[in-house]
Amino acid sequence: MMRSRVVGMGLAWLLLMAAAGGAWAGAPTDQLRGAIDRVIKTLDNPALKGDSKVGERRTAVRKIANDIFDFGEIARRSLGRHWQGRTDKEREEFISLFGDLLERSYISKIELYGGEKILYTNERMDAEVAVVSTKVITKNGTEVPIDYR
């Protein structure tokens, strides 16, 4: 059960705030599904399996994340009101460090994906932000709800 939550949290990180910077061009659910499918395809790629391919696999997943994330916006939101008090140099450094932290914290967990099913259950607009509701169904039938904003 803990492994399932870790996988769910890892997948949640991947797309949690992908819409933050306006990176979505189409329907939110379609965009989410496409990005998750790309990550799963990368993880299932036989050429990227095994311990010797960890670096290549993580680079490929990070590239997908870079395609859909606005790390600057995510970093700004994480600091909230403290963002305004930072210099441009401090902001740039924080964005870089924050991206590295997310990568170290979550990409290794995304790699634990083991055939869980993802159901897309709802899509709605919450102010100016799209919210896509999903459920990750683990191999033992546990449902882990995740909302992507």
Segments making up each domain of the chain, as ranges: 2-113
Bridge partners for 130 per DSSP: 125
* Residue pLDDT, tens place only, 77-86: 999 999 999 9
Long-range contacts of 134-138 (CB under 8 A, 24+ apart): 134/32, 136/4, 136/7, 136/8, 136/11, 138/1, 138/4, 138/7
- Helix crossing, 2-15 with 54-68: angle to 10°? 50
d(C-alpha 30, C-alpha 57), whole Å: 24
Reported pTM: 0.69
pLDDT, tens only, 54-98? 999 988 988 888 887 788 988 999 999 999 999 999 999 999 999
